[in-house]
């Protein structure tokens, strides 16, 4: 059986091919699954998709009409999939429920320290042999307050690093994580966390209840010199409201690895094209903002775990098993 994998990065391709070797043939495509590319899947019972795939009603109907019966998404998030339509079409949909939390937590801290210590500006200057320190003044993290919104596996890993810096820890989540409490974290309501934190990092999934969790009101409650980091999902932040606050001169730094309108942009080379997204174009002009292209998960460890889980999802589907990663079970459990 040939499995068709959409949105495969060049670094990812040999890992996928090795993981499926001896099991199934896999055809890796660098194009993402969209309404335009969905017809390519015709004749493939199983396809694999990336986090930026567009699996809306129309795409799912095209896939089902072409004979696709199983979608193995190589990500934890699944807000890009219309699960109700998938169930109606009797499609099996599986995801990767977890992978290395350290990959994302460490990258969130990379963004935090890069904006705090003005690393991008400093590196750009030294390439021009400009060794001045003007405008590069940062601050110690030790003794300051880290606000962690979402204290699951990734939030816990982020918290452990913050604890290592010697920071005061505030957390917000629907349930307390005992490991974070053991590190000295105090759980607080969101308004208090926003008002008291010097560094705020987001580690919650994108749901209807968390869409624009950090909106205009939340942004105004934050300290003027706070650092805001988002390595989770772009839709957690109202980007238009964020730009307005940045225009007003607020925040020491903002690090974004995700963007709410990233589909059709991230993972692609747009360097020779004009970008018609005025919000993103304005966002990247601020000297205290770093935007990266959804790469927090992109370590050999995490990608390897994602691929291994995807292979298991395919094996479970072919064996008629309903694993924990299945979002829409089209086959009965055995």
pLDDT higher than threshold 60 for residue 333: no
Query: What does the pLDDT read at residue 329?
Result: 76
Q: Find, among 197, 252, 202, the residue nearest to 230 by Cα.
A: 202
β-strands 326-328, 92-94: how paired? antiparallel
- Look at residue 267 in the predicted model and tell me its pLDDT: 86
Q: Determine contact, residues 150/144, Cβ cutoff 8 Å.
A: no
Distance CA(87)–CA(183), nearest Å, equals 42
User: Of the residues 44, 233, 250, 312, which is catalytic?
Assistant: 233
pLDDT of residue 91: 96
The answer on pLDDT for 69 being more than 50 is yes
The yes-or-no answer on residue 156 being catalytic is no
Contact criterion met (CB below 8 Å) for 251 and 227: yes
Tell me, yes or no, if 233 is annotated catalytic. Answer: yes
Asked whether the beta carbons of 295 and 85 are under 8 A apart, the reply is: no
Chain CA centroid to CA 234, Å: 8
118: annotated active-site residue: no
pTM value?
0.90
Active-site residue identified among 74, 95, 294, 312: 294
Phi, psi angle pair for 19, to nearest 5°: -65, -35
> Tens digits of per-residue pLDDT, 206-220?
999 999 999 999 999
The lowest-confidence range among 12-26, 143-157, 239-253 is: 12-26
Which of 323 and 286 is assigned the larger pLDDT?
Answer: 286
What φ, ψ does residue 290 adopt, rounded to 5°? -120, 130
Mean pLDDT of the chain: 94
């Amino acid at each position: 059986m040939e499995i068709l994998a959409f949105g495969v990065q060049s670094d990812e391709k040999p890992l996928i091919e090795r993981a499926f070797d001896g099991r199934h043939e896999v055809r890796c495509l660098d194009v993402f699954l969209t309404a335009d590319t969905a017809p390519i899947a015709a004749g493939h019972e199983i396809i694999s998709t990336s986090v930026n795939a567009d699996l809306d009603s129309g795409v799912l109907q095209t896939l089902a009409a072409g004979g696709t019966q199983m979608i193995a998404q190589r990500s934890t998030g699944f807000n890009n999939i219309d699960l109700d339509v998938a169930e109606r079409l009797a499609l099996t949909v599986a995801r990767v429920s977890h992978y290395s939390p350290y990959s994302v937590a460490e990258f969130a801290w990379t963004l935090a320290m890069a904006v705090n210590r003005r690393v991008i500006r400093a590196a750009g200057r030294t390439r021009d042999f400009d060794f001045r320190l003007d405008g590069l003044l940062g601050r110690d993290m030790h003794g300051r307050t880290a606000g962690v919104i979402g204290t699951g596996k990734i939030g816990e890993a982020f918290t452990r690093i913050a604890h290592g810096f010697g920071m005061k820890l505030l957390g917000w989540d629907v349930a307390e994580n005992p490991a974070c409490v053991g590190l000295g974290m105090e759980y607080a309501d969101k308004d208090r966390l926003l008002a008291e934190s010097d560094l705020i990092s987001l580690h919650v999934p994108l749901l209807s209840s968390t869409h624009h969790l950090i909106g205009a009101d939340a942004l105004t409650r934050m300290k003027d010199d706070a650092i805001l980091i988002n390595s989770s999902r772009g839709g957690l932040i109202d980007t238009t409201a964020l730009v307005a606050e940045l225009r007003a001169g607020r925040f020491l730094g903002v690090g974004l690895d995700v963007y709410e309108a990233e589909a059709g942009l991230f993972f692609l080379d747009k360097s020779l094209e004009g970008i018609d997204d005025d919000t993103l174009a304005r966002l990247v002009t601020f000297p205290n903002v770093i935007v990266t292209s959804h790469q927090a998960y992109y370590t050999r460890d995490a990608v390897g775990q994602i691929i291994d889980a995807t292979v298991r999802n395919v094996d479970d589907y072919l064996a008629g098993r309903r694993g924990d990663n299945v979002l829409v079970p089209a086959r009965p459990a055995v």
